[in-house]
Amino acid sequence: THTQSENEYAVKCVNRKELHPSDAVALQDEITALKILKDCAYIVTLHDVFEEPDSTYVILERMHGGDLIDRIIEKAHYTEADAKEVCKKLLLGVEYCHARRIANRNLKPENLLLVSKESDTDVKISDFGYGKKVLYPNSLRTQCGTEGYVAPEILSHNPSYDVKCDMWSLGVILYIVLGGYRPFRGTSDQVMKQIRYGEYEFHPRYWSHVSKDAKALISSMLVVDPDQRISATDALMSAWITADDKTLGKSDLSSNLEELRNFKAKAKLRQVVKVIIATNKLQSLGSRYRAFKDF
């Protein structure tokens, strides 16, 4: 909390002494991206950066409303109009990024945060840890992102890609927000194969009551060839985004909320498992170190 204004901020503290050189570069890329994007209403605002000899402090807008999926699953009633309002704001945020040649490269539900507990749709993109300025077409080479959301061009053996990778990730998010589950599921190898070939479907049980325009927009995002994939600007002009809210308000998605709750529960379980694995690895390393010292 700022002592004079009493405004609350989120602070990201990074010990640079512990950073791998590539991570140090990534930190500077993140700060550069956030500085370029600081005036966008749909991206968490960077307020300041403080440098000390060994540490960097990134001062960010504090978000009070939790993540997008948590907010949706609290609803008793959920419609396509609700989903569209959120998606439109995300598209506006991504369009702002891409107009400035910034690729986020890690769009996923956990990184989409609500400004306050009072609004269900005042959402912002919050994490630019993989954010990168695209210096020239297809200049990005790093394989990064999150399994299930990463674009197929990033998974290639010699990746060369552009800002369009974010539109794929946004397509996955829209699929989840409307259907309640991920389009690409299975083992890691299965998920990567499905992504590379664009293998997904709209299962009638969950999608029969979703409008054709919504499914058409998802399909235009989940296109394997990035050159054929829809841009954020064109997506904002799509039939679904420009549709009348009263019409979409009649498309009830409440029956998919249970699937969305299951999706969230599984995501939390995966996070717990990752923490346990990481802890066990650290303990194992500690045991080997002690054994070496004793020897």
CA dihedral 93, 97, 102, 106 (to 10 degrees): 10
Residue with tokens 């050159």: 227
Q: Give dist(CA 15, CA 19) in Å, integer.
A: 7
Q: What is the pLDDT of residues 135-161, one digit of tens each?
A: 999 999 999 999 999 999 999 989 999
User: What CA–CA distances, in Å, run from 218 to 29, 124, 244, 285?
Assistant: 30, 20, 18, 44
- Considering the domain architecture, whether residues 93 and 221 belong to the same structural domain is answered as yes
276 within domain boundaries? no
Burial of 30 (0-12, 13-18, 19+ CB in 10 A): buried
pLDDT at 294 over 70: no
* Listed range (65-69, 83-87, 91-95) with the worst mean pLDDT: 65-69
Q: What is the pLDDT of residues 22-80, one digit of tens each?
A: 899 999 999 999 999 999 999 999 999 999 989 999 999 999 999 998 888 888 788 99
Q: How much is the average pLDDT of 115-131?
A: 92
Average pLDDT of the residues of the chain = 88
pLDDT at 264: 83
Q: Quick one: what percent of the chain has pLDDT higher than 90?
A: 70
By the 8 A CB rule, do 66 and 119 touch?
no
Where in the sequence is the domain holding 42, given as residue range(s)? 9-61
Q: Give dist(CA 45, CA 261) in Å, integer.
A: 29
- Considering the domain architecture, whether residues 108 and 171 belong to the same structural domain is answered as yes
Which residues, 6 or more positions from 178, have their beta carbon under 8 angstroms from its beta carbon?
A: 80, 83, 207, 210, 214, 218, 253, 256
Residue with tokens 């890691």: 188
288 within domain boundaries? no
C-alpha dihedral sign at 278, 283, 288, 290: positive
Q: Total structural domains in the chain?
A: 2
pLDDT at 211: 95
- Considering the domain architecture, whether residues 22 and 154 belong to the same structural domain is answered as no
pLDDT at 289: 35
Q: What is the pLDDT of residues 157-200, one digit of tens each?
A: 899 999 999 999 999 999 999 999 999 999 999 999 999 999 99
278 within domain boundaries? no
pLDDT at 6: 56
Q: What is the pLDDT of residues 215-274, one digit of tens each?
A: 999 999 999 999 999 999 999 999 999 999 888 888 888 888 888 888 888 776 666 554
pLDDT at 214 over 50: yes
CATH number at residue 120: 1.10.510.10
